[in-house]
Amino acid sequence: MDKNEGMVKVDLSKTPPATLEHMKVMERLNKARVQHLKKVRRKSNILSIGLVTLAVGTYLYSMAAVRQEGFLDDFEEPKLKSDKN
């Protein structure tokens, strides 16, 4: 095949009418299937983006909350009784 040839044209003039009708039905069904798969893929992408955003947001919030906690900053070790000397 040459680069400019592309796909070979098929002569459908000798094809029985029932086969042509079947080809048209299958083409319609395939188009409907492709449209359905596009919708499912779009919804899946939106859901995955939402879940990733939720996970990253939760992580960043928890990191910010831990950074703000200061209860261990003023912690002093208790003195033992034996250290009175």
Segment 43-80, tens digit of pLDDT: 999 999 999 999 999 999 999 888 876 666 666 777 77
**For 73, which DSSP code?**
T
End-to-end CA distance of the chain: 99
Mean residue pLDDT across the chain: 87
At residue 3 the predicted structure's pLDDT band, cuts being 50, 70 and 90, is: low
Q: Domain-by-domain residue ranges, the chain? A: 17-65
Task: Give percent of the chain above pLDDT 90.
Answer: 55
